[in-house]
Amino acid sequence: MACCGFITRAEGEEMKQPEKIILPRPNLKGAVSVEECIKNRRSVRSFSSNPLTMEEISQLLWAAQGITDGRKGLRSAPSAGALYPLEIYLVTGDGVFYYDIEARALIRTNGQDMRPNLADGALGQASIKEAPASVIICAVRSRVTAKYGDRGNRYVDIEVGHAAENLHLQAVALGLASVPVGAFDDARIKKVLNLPSGTEPLYIVPVGHPR
């Protein structure tokens, strides 16, 4: 059983790249009010080893950047000019994954457990190594600056805050915990994620069951 509870692979089986995992549809009606989530949200830095389920992963990623209007392609977080510069990556014990927003799928780009490497790139923060999953919110700033110039950089920074808060509150609604991480070496995180040129990491969110 894979550490995040949604991928299995026979021992010694060679990883095929890329591998696409279709995620379950998100639940659009929860049992916890937004007011309760706001009240109960706290930064948690110690996590149990319990894995996240496929449903939990899907819900968290949808909250951060999922499509909420299929006809117009609008997403869960507001974006200046609906230009959507954000890109989402997931790091678990099963590897590194890119969140294909339109396909509602994970694309595995690396089959190794890169959590220790991610933690090292974030000044050795233990919460990243300990959490069963970390969501990394990245951005392609040129999508916005091409229209808005330098002001677009501010819009991108605002947008990553919207997406991250959605993610933190969704974690609370699922009975999970999270912590915002902004202290990291950009170049090292880019290497861990093998980010394409023009994509930069802005925010890391370790998430899991609180210890």
Q: pLDDT for 141-154, tens place per residue?
A: 999 999 999 999 99
The number of beta carbons lying within 10 Å of the beta carbon of residue 200 is 15
CATH superfamily of this structure's domain 19-208: NADH Oxidase (3.40.109.10)
pLDDT at 18: 76
The number of beta carbons lying within 10 Å of the beta carbon of residue 209 is 18
Q: Using DSSP, how many helices (H) and how many strands (E) does the chain show?
A: 7, 9
Q: Where are the domains of the chain?
A: 19-208
- Where b means 16+ CB within 10 Å and e means fewer, 167-187 reads bbbbbbbbebbbbebeebeee
Q: What is the mean pLDDT of residues 193-201?
A: 98
Of 153, 134, 157, nearest in space to 145 by CA? 153
Q: What is the mean pLDDT of residues 23-43?
A: 97
| Token duo for residue 116 | 């220790």
Q: What percent of the chain has pLDDT over 70?
A: 92
pLDDT top residue among 13 and 37:
37
Question: Band of the pLDDT at 5, cuts 50, 70, 90?
Answer: very low
Question: Band of the pLDDT at 9, cuts 50, 70, 90?
Answer: very low
The number of beta carbons lying within 10 Å of the beta carbon of residue 199 is 17
DSSP 65-111: H-EEETTTTEESS--GGG---EEEEEEETTEEEEEETTTTEEEEEE-
Question: Band of the pLDDT at 16, cuts 50, 70, 90?
Answer: low
